[in-house]
Amino acid sequence: MNKINFYHSLIFFNMCIFLSAFEYLRENNLLILSLFLILSLGISHGALDHVKGKKLLRILNYKSIIVFYIFYILIGFIIILLWLLFPKILLFVFLIVASFHFGKEDSEFIKYKTNQDLIYFFKGSLVVTAPLLFHKNETLEIFANLNFDISQNLLISNEFLYLFILISFFSNILISFNKQIDIKSLLIMDFISILLLNYFLSPILAFTVYFCFLHSIRHSFKLSNELNRINFIKGFKEFIIKAMPLTILTGILFLMSLLYLKNYYLLDSAISKVIFIGLASLTFPHILLEYLIEKNEQT
């Protein structure tokens, strides 16, 4: 798997260099394309949560899968409701949780101390701090569109952002400490790739490319390997088949939400809300499921 992840990072790194050369991509948000990619490649990496849910129920000695579905969907709806009631608090929490999630899942194939959650947070924080550094006004406009206007309440200095990015870089060094050179190279390529995307592309497009082609694909590779540890290709094919139903269902729900919001907001604003609020409603139960499985397997 390390070799597969290395070549994946190498391809992604070259892809980021290639995309940064197109002036058209620099000057356009391409929100519809971003939504399509997230609804297809992006959310598919969590489309096996029902399989993991069955695994968790077996560990907890529950037999009915309905219990899992009820709680999983309920958590998603609670997140949406809380976002509507307390948008500033929930978006702030979401950015923190997402930073940890990105840092951990993007490097979980590396054997590292499991109690170093803060290191994973700082590593993944690059996804949040890079767009704020290179496209601050545009990023703050996205936050304001999500009812989290921090431009007047919190001064985010460039020095603070540079510090966070530097800490993120050293977090990669710590994770790859005493590891093989391909692991070190992999993490450095990922770090530079995210910087390149956010320097040349708009925040949402940069996030989409990262989320779909680095984060989601890497996690999908991990799931494919878990499905078939002997033959990766067969495991990947099995993953696609098993992920298809929930990916399609989630995509339909996202599009229905977009059609509803389009009656009250401009299309670009509606797409932004669907992307980020929708991802938040999926991310929280997804992370909670991963956490419960990890903790119960350790006991």
| Tally of CB atoms within 10 A around 199 | 16
Statement: residue 16 has pLDDT above 60: yes
Residues 136-150: pLDDT tens digits? 888 888 888 887 666
Q: How far, rounded to the nearest angstrom, does the alpha carbon of residue 291 sit from its chain's CA centroid?
A: 16
Provide the domain count of the chain: 1
- Structure confidence at residue 114 (pLDDT): 57
Segment of 22-31, 110-119, 278-287 carrying the highest mean pLDDT: 278-287
Percent of the chain clearing pLDDT 90 (strictly above): 29
- Exposure on the CB side of residue 284, measured as CA atoms within 13 A: 23
Does residue 128 contact residue 99 with C-beta atoms inside 8 Å? Answer: yes
Residues 6+ apart with CB under 8 A from 251: 39, 40, 43
Statement: residue 296 has pLDDT above 80: no
Statement: residue 177 has pLDDT above 70: yes
- Structure confidence at residue 154 (pLDDT): 52
Residues 6+ apart with CB under 8 A from 68: 50, 53, 54, 56, 57, 62
Tell me what the mean pLDDT of segment 89-102 comes to: 89
- Structure confidence at residue 59 (pLDDT): 80
Residue of 111 and 221 predicted with greater confidence: 221
The answer to whether the Cα torsion of 280, 285, 291, 293 is positive or negative is negative
Statement: residue 12 has pLDDT above 90: yes
* Pick from 174, 205, 166, 236: nearest CA to 8: 236
Does residue 265 contact residue 25 with C-beta atoms inside 8 Å? Answer: no
- Structure confidence at residue 142 (pLDDT): 85
Percent of the chain clearing pLDDT 70 (strictly above): 95
The mean predicted confidence, pLDDT, of the chain is: 86
Does residue 260 contact residue 56 with C-beta atoms inside 8 Å? Answer: no
* Pick from 164, 71, 64, 180: nearest CA to 118: 164
Structure tokens at 144: 């304001």
Reported as a pLDDT band with limits 50, 70 and 90, residue 90 is confident
Q: How far, rounded to the nearest angstrom, does the alpha carbon of residue 151 sit from its chain's CA centroid?
A: 24
| Own/partner long-range contacts of 144-150 (Cβ < 8 Å, ≥24 apart) | 145/269, 145/272, 145/273, 146/87, 146/91, 146/272, 146/273, 146/276, 146/277, 147/87, 147/88, 147/91, 148/87, 148/88, 148/91, 148/92, 150/88
Domain with 250 in it: 2-298
Give the amino acid at 162: Y
- Structure confidence at residue 87 (pLDDT): 84
Residues 257-278: pLDDT tens digits? 999 988 888 888 889 889 888 8
- Exposure on the CB side of residue 190, measured as CA atoms within 13 A: 32
The answer to whether the Cα torsion of 203, 208, 213, 218 is positive or negative is positive
- Structure confidence at residue 230 (pLDDT): 86
Distance between CA atoms of residues 193 and 11, nearest Å: 10
